[in-house]
Structure 1
């Protein structure tokens, strides 16, 4: 008789129940309280597939022979040698000790930021940093690839990054009060499937349907029509990529030119307004920022821009800005310009009015947010102050000892001799991967800890096999989720894989800090401890009753105290003096004394249009602007071969979507294998023709597993980051500029079948590892 076990679990795509027969997963059911579950949850069975899994500790043969004296160019080319866990722990601990003693702990770079699992206990990045903090520290990173320039400029202009982290106006308030909604970038269930730390209920679609029901006027400003669901009925403004700042400034300039700006709000609540208004009027450069000026840059209609400027003032208007807009050269500017536009309208702090960032970029942004304590394993105190901006990894490896700037401070790149990457894959998400490949040869030792043979793991010296979340117990929850969710173990670990906690505990013991690392708790002891900390906080601060741990663990979830119908800066608007912001002036900064003093030409003292390094306003006729956005069927490169991901491939490759008119002039037919290329690299994809993409634009999602052909520089899997530009957003923010990228596109002139065979052979070779 078959007995099906029902196992509650959670991943970045939401909560679900795993159906297990013996040690085999036979089904996945969505969480009962999720109104819009993600189809990606059906892909988690792929984690139990051993084909791409790391099944035992492995060491690159050249490194095992010569250790730190080995040739880094052997990474990705030499065979791996299996070793025991005891030997692996000895090798890893020995390298940590050697590098810290010979060069100092700043020469240890702890790179990953932990997308491998949504669990808050087996959080690979946190456990790595906890281990290293017990033995002198490490060089880490600040911000994320997803969002860096945006938080930097908002910390400076609003005093915190709360407005882009989920604490601007909540979507339930927007759905009830907004009359005109201008969406810069996207409000897409595609990206709202995902949430760091897991999510219980996906609510974006619910709020969008209420917006439709109330007949809110919605304007989508994006080169991609499907950045909002078709049923929303939005007006599509197909803007040139990277020119949103010019549109925002043109709208603000039109409002000021007509004398419709809220002078009282600007005087009471903002500093530097005079400088910003002078820029809009063109007093210094002779170029008034109006509808005609904006239209020339953005490729939009001047009459419509002027009309919208009037509507923004006459109605309760809300401006939303996707995280994607700041992943571009001068990415600070669209976030700051949107703030300037909202300030000019005077609607900041009103229900359903003002500006917010990141709605739909993750599932919990704009949802009712957790006001209690989220569960998280402590990384412990940092013994040293050493960091780099997250997207400057290649620069760090290529330029040890050279200066860099960040938030107005000048610092120095460390001499990274040891790289330890746990639960992450920079060979998926870093820009200009061919440049990264050169930098990757520089460290003396690279350790990768991951369940999968990712492109990064294939280029490591030591590879440690971590279990996936379905092979251990954990819990999910974060500040943007209305639940804490139990993650029960469903199956036994594959091969010799161990949990991240067990791996780091073994390394910590080898380093002599095992007791300090574990604090005397095992897996279930830690889960109880983390949950009880959240439960006690909810009761003490909010009088909110959560079930005890046993009841939570059996039920599989617990609700947490949340904030609903939130209006951002309402108290500040009412009394700016009593609710001063943590900025240089205590007010919203539209003209910055700090940036004026720094004198950066790539981040001026006020919101400004600054021409990006690559864009459609300055390109050759045969170049297209590449948009490399989040895929629909997976998160980043996770589960790339699973059912939901494969459903969005075509002819076995990633789909590159482009406008039919562009395809016609380039001689590309629907379904063709095409080559995308520029001076940085090249990749193959399958062409899909559509009129839902603006002319001059091509869309290739991220996440294809990098598969280069020898030394040709051609990736046959369709990874767009062989093409993307690896330059900082600015001297101030130092963020990722992936969306500033021009490419040439042509029908592939090589042997398509041969390329396909090469791809399949690469996968088989990976399986053989």
Structure 2
């Protein structure tokens, strides 16, 4: 029996008569993810794209001016199935036209990177390599998940990827940590996944070992279930968006009672004096006292005082979840996490310091070296124009307009063609109704997809791509315990082709085939990439078998040496000999660089910034789902089983539900001035009053197809989230800063059509 690797785990596909019947978790995974249950039945369902398809008016008017191809009909028009040669000729013609008329700066290569755990058939790498072979493209930087953090952290501590790979290990925490304070919790649902795969789930066992060792956990979150599995677990039901104020008040107590570590601050940080002046009110006249914070956070002042004393008296790890920086002024909770840890002076000590995302992905805290296995080169992009990833709507709506990013001013390019492979923008982008207007602006939109998602339905040319089970590949994630030989389990559904085969054919038509393929087929690339990874493995003291043995055995357990990792230990031991990669070589509580940018919404040290007044009474949290990764396999059995009357579940506090006459299991309308969606209701005391929560990833399903401001009937929260940057520094996603109202839905509930394919017309050339 063969293996496969998915972002949420390793499985043995069970195939009968050529059809996938089940996905059996591998025997070594102590905590396998049930997301795999969604794949059988969904992989070859009616939602699957089986043949190349072109939007009808786009095809009929292909030889007309692009403006006459009715881009306003995207999302509300039939598709015509065409032969592969016809579809590829159309794509090649459009790429050639746009490049010839406007240059490569008019092409946007959209891909969000989560399309496949396989290292060769990785949609983002394939797309970017192809476009680079053809002269380049406008690209995006950072991520929706961690946009603010990725831009901020190099200024104050170091590169985010380096920090994540070097986090203090779960093993070390179990041995040395006494108090784990989790801002945003440690949600196990998020830890199901990792880029490149999660063959051995670690987080639940890590929490359990810490609990058995007597570690006390404090879950600072509006959601009680953001931290489970520990015996000593206190829930501080903080008001959303106020974590920075709570951290500042904890710092105030440390300074007021002389509990801050002045020696550590003096030796290992710069700028702490200026921050302390601000903390004590010398700058703005407002001392950041526990009483001040209590009014903002709803955490009693005395509990803030006692928590600060506990943190100073115990070996304390402070963790902040990614979700806290997905908000307006999202840099501040990350900066304050580092600052509070520096005040305690435990950075670099076993079991203490700070973490940036324990529980957000599986491998954070593994304690293993960051060997990631095979890598497929994307080549070099001659085009230097880019956007922060969360600013795509701004780019499409405002070509030529200036934007700030990380201390510099740039201008949005004028995009004529969008090429997308991997990802679903109608899931992860904010203010979808605004996006719908922007999505009419490009002349051509080309999508590789496996299923009829909203992204595919809003494209002009749709090319059916294979899934991970329909091709050979290699699964390998940084620090993951196993490398997986991903043998093809089933034949491609319909006429689906893998991305490499598609781009190889396009590159032949566009005279860049040798640059893209280097004369190799997919099997030859797999062998080459694996052999190249063997030499890199040696630098990690890892010995990989030859390719034939690896492919025959199907799995290889990486022999990682025992590693009792402690984040920033080398820096603490020798700050001069092992400085940080910051301008000062130290932790920058105050950053001269950021201060020099002159951003009022992100000045030179952590600050409390009042958010704009929110007009509606309920704060909406849209966090990661439990039953899928992002929007993947939302049409599958496991995700579908979680729905209420076919809608995504919305959790509301009991007293908020009672005040609105809402009962468990009913359908409600959730709305603000940006739009409205329907959801099924869960009434619970595990969420604080004044807050409602819904997972992201429900496939976008408007009542009126292709029209903005239509009722979304499936539960996609991004019709309500605001599309503004976290700050001028990062321009990151700010989805968590949004308020709504909720009311009972009266009358007939409209049917879910998100998973229905569009109208498909017969082949027409």
Shorter-chain TM-score category? over 0.9
Q: Is the 8 A contact 1:272 1:591 kept in 2?
A: yes
Mapped partners of 2:458, 2:40: distance in 1: 26
The equivalent of 1:100 in structure 2 is 99
Could you say which residue in structure 2 is the equivalent of 1:684? 678
Matched-pair contact (CA < 8 Å) for 1:322–1:357: yes
After the TM superposition, which residues 85-484 of structure 1 pair with which residues of structure 2 at under 5 Å, given as runs?
A: 85-162=84-161, 165-229=164-228, 231-484=230-483
Distance 1:387 1:359 in 2: 30
Where do 1:583-598 residues align within 5 Å?
Answer: 583-598=582-597
Counterpart CA distance in 2 for 1:317 and 1:95 is: 57
**Structure 1: unaligned runs, 5 residues or longer:** 1-5
CA offset at residue 194 of structure 1?
A: 1.0
Deviation at residue 678 of structure 1 after TM alignment: 0.4
Instruction: Output one character per residue of 1:530-567: Cα deviation in whole Å (capped at 9) or x when no partner.
Output: 1222222222x244222221221122222335473211
Matched residues in 1 for 2:522 and 2:111: separation?
22
Counterparts in 2 of 1:638 and 1:571: CA distance versus 1, 3 Å = same
Structure-2 residue corresponding to 1:23: 18
Distance 1:591 1:15 in 2: 44
- Cα distance in 2 between the residues matched to 1:546 and 1:456: 40
Gaps of 5+ in 2: none
Match of 2:644 in 1: 650
Question: Matches of 2:78 and 2:726 in 1, distance apart?
Answer: 38
CA distance in 1: counterparts of 2:293 and 2:653, whole angstroms:
24
Note the alpha carbon deviations across 1:240-298, whole angstroms, 9 max, x for none. 11111111111111101111111111111111111111111111111111211111111
Flag the 1:443–1:714 CA change in 2: closer, same or farther, 3 A: same
Task: Provide the TM-score with structure 1 as the length reference.
Answer: 0.96
Pairing 1:707–2:701 present: yes
1:43 is matched with 38
Measured against aligned partners, the alpha-carbon deviations of 1:633-677 in whole angstroms (never above 9, x if no partner) come to: 111111112121122111221110010001111121111110000
Distance 2:481 2:417 in 1: 39
Q: 2: distance between equivalents of 1:96 and 1:655?
A: 42
Q: Deviations over 1:592-636 (max 9, x none)?
A: 1122222211101101111223xxxx445x620001111111111
| Matched residue, 1:56 | 51
Q: Does structure 2 conserve the Cα–Cα contact (< 8 Å) formed by 1:485 and 1:558? A: yes
Change (3 A) 1:708 1:10: same
Partner SS for 2:695: coil
TM-score by length of 2: 0.96
SS in 1 for 2:668: strand
- Structure-2 separation of matches of 1:578 and 1:151: 25
Give the total of aligned pairs: 753
The RMSD of aligned alpha carbons is: 1.5
CA contact (8 A) 1:371 1:561 kept: no
Q: Take 1:461 and 1:413, find their aligned partners in 2: how far apart are those partners?
A: 23
Alpha-carbon spacing, 1:298–1:562, altered in 2? closer, same or farther (3 Å): farther
> Contact 1:151/1:164 (CA < 8 Å) preserved in 2?
no
Give the Å deviation of 1:368. Answer: 2.9
Is the contact between residue 709 and residue 716 of structure 1 (CA under 8 Å) also seen in structure 2? Answer: yes
2:728 corresponding residue in structure 1: 731
| Greater Cα offset, 693-702 or 88-97 | 88-97
Matched, 1:636 2:630: yes
What is the SS of the residue equivalent to 1:78?
coil
Residue equivalent to 1:522: 521
Aligned equivalents of 2:702 and 2:163: distance in 1? 36
More displaced stretch, 442-451 vs 516-525: 516-525
| TM-superposed deviation, 1:163 | 6.1
Residue 767 of structure 1: how far off its partner (Å)? 7.7
CA distance in 2, matches of 1:161, 1:292: 34
Paired residues of 1:51 and 1:767 also in contact (CA < 8 A): no
Q: Quote the residue 2:688 is aligned against.
A: 694
Q: CA deviation at 1:515?
A: 2.0
In structure 2, the CA distance between the partners of 1:388 and 1:133, relative to structure 1 (3 Å rule), is same
